[in-house]
Amino acid sequence: MVDPIHVALIDDDAAVLDSLRLYFARNELNTSCFNTAEEFLAAVDSTQFDCVVSDVRMPGVSGLDLVGHLNARGFVRPIILITGHGDIDMAVAAIKIGAFDFIEKPFDENRLLASIRNAVEQGRQQIGDVAELERLQSRFNSLSLRQRQVMELAVAGLSSKEIGKRLNISSKTVENHRAWLMERIGARNLAELVRMAMQIQLRS
Amino acid sequence: MVDPIHVALIDDDAAVLDSLRLYFARNELNTSCFNTAEEFLAAVDSTQFDCVVSDVRMPGVSGLDLVGHLNARGFVRPIILITGHGDIDMAVAAIKIGAFDFIEKPFDENRLLASIRNAVEQGRQQIGDVAELERLQSRFNSLSLRQRQVMELAVAGLSSKEIGKRLNISSKTVENHRAWLMERIGARNLAELVRMAMQIQLRS
DNA sequence: TATCATCTGGGTATAAACACCCAGGGGTAA
DNA sequence: TTACCCCTGGGTGTTTATACCCAGATGATA
């Protein structure tokens, strides 16, 4: 068996919430229900969800707004939007800003279930990449200011001597920083360091 | 003034074709019309378009299929789909496979025009990147087999000595290849070489 | 045939990277 | 005060990289 799937379900209509939760439960989905996007946003950091299913039309923060907020927070789990009164423009806007799917009510419950399973499968793949990247980012963040400066210039292709001139320190000191930062960030050679810098989108 | 915009317009309905061409002409858009996606696909390599506007429902290759075909060919210009009988699922599918926009008929012609201008602006930006990348790719392709092999291993972080062991040649020969390929591909140091390798997605 | 690119390997010298070591000064927190 | 981390700079020796030079063998092409 795979890991249990945990779905965040958001809808201001309690009847929809109940009915979908029941359906999800029958299909081995673990569900957390929220009446508003705000409630969900308050809880999202403290719980691990595999997928978000949200209504579009809700008082306050709409489903579309929710996608924007989650993007801004760096929330990488897939978001499926459902709506009873959606139009094509809305659907296009939703997908463009990164919603995983946009489904019109009334819908075949199996259609939603299939989309969720799809979303979770794809989402879990990229979760691994994101986690890897976050570990890298935290290693980078643990570098001292000087080490970061030296890294940026080294990655730009400058020699220790050139870096020393830029930073007004001796090339020897640069070599020291260089060795320390390579060890800290876990790069075994310059090529690895450059790849790491590109992955965290290090810009001068 | 900016460069004139050249739009490829595809629809099996001659009336739509004529009416849109007129409207485009009045708005300083250069238009090439096609009755089928097949006709367009036959002409696409010999002409430079800034943007594609295509109907979805057409005999033969549909607008959705067209997006797939163009993606497969590496065609990077934005594609706007228009349709008279579209539904949300279709719109979602279109955007997911990379269509720039999906507009329902009847539509406000200004809405289409705005989307085209948007598309062209965004498209032209990435065209520059793509052209740059193609120049890089062609420089890489001009490398000899040995040079490519040495580049791959150098980019992986191996020293000339290690590369020599892998390829069963002397480290001295590797150094020669290394210098030659750096000059050819235009890399001034290892860091640049690694970045180039990542851009062309060089895999071992 | 002659030329050109490529692959091969060497020589030689300088520059740079790398791996260790050392120590003083400064700030911060237990 | 002590301990810790950071920045600074140096010493020393080894390993690589880089930049030139050289030339023979090979294969394709004009």
* Alpha carbon distance A110, A129 (integer Å): 29
Quick count: other Cβ atoms within 10 Å of Cβ A40?
Answer: 23
Instruction: Return chain B residues 112..171 having CB < 7 Å to nucleic acid strand C.
Output: 144-147, 167, 169-170
The mean pLDDT value for B81-105 works out to 96
B34 vs A: CB within 8 A: no
* Alpha carbon distance A30, A155 (integer Å): 46
- B2 has a pLDDT exceeding 80: no
Residues linked to residue A9 through DSSP beta bridges, in sequence order: A33, A53
- B202 has a pLDDT exceeding 90: no
Which residues have a Cβ under 8 Å from the Cβ of A138 and sit 6 or more positions away? none
Q: Does residue B176 lie within 7 Å of nucleic acid chain D, judged by its CB?
A: yes
Mean pLDDT, rounded, of chain A: 95
Q: How far A28 CA sits from the closest chain B CA (Å)?
A: 26
* Alpha carbon distance A202, A150 (integer Å): 12
pLDDT of residue B204: 60
Protein-proximal nucleotides of chain C (any atom < 7 Å from a CB): 5-11, 15-22
Residue type, B137: Q
Task: Count the helices and strands in chain A (H runs, E runs).
Answer: 9, 5
The mean pLDDT value for B145-153 works out to 97
pLDDT of residue A1: 58
pLDDT of residue B40: 97
Residue type, B149: Q
pLDDT of residue B56: 97
pLDDT tens, residue by residue, B156-170 = 999 999 999 999 999
- Do A52 and A82 contact (CB within 8 A), yes or no? no
- Do A154 and A204 contact (CB within 8 A), yes or no? no
Among residues B54, B72, B182, the alpha carbon closest in space to that of A157 is found at B182
- At B80, list the tokens: 């706007």
- At B50, list the tokens: 């800034």
The mean pLDDT value for B1-10 works out to 87
- Do A153 and A183 contact (CB within 8 A), yes or no? no
User: Which A residues in the span 177-196 are in contact with B, Cβ-Cβ below 8 Å?
Assistant: 188-192, 194-195
pLDDT band (50, 70, 90) for residue A3: confident
Residue whose entry in the numeric block shows the structure tokens 């403290």:
A46
Chain A residues lying within 8 Å of B101, measured CB to CB: 92
B155 vs A: CB within 8 A: yes
pLDDT tens, residue by residue, B125-146 = 999 999 999 999 999 999 999 9
Chain B residues lying within 8 Å of A119, measured CB to CB: none
Mutate: best of B194, B201, B202, B204, partner A, most A CBs <10 A: B194
- Do A64 and A90 contact (CB within 8 A), yes or no? yes
Mutate: best of A85, A88, A155, A189, partner B, most B CBs <10 A: A88
Alpha helices in A49-108 (DSSP H): 63-73, 88-96
- A204 has a pLDDT exceeding 80: no
A86 vs B: CB within 8 A: yes
* Alpha carbon distance A120, A122 (integer Å): 5
**First-last CA distance in chain A:** 46
- At A188, list the tokens: 């075994």
Residue whose entry in the numeric block shows the structure tokens 């591909």:
B185
- At A101, list the tokens: 């799917």
Quick count: other Cβ atoms within 10 Å of Cβ A73?
Answer: 11
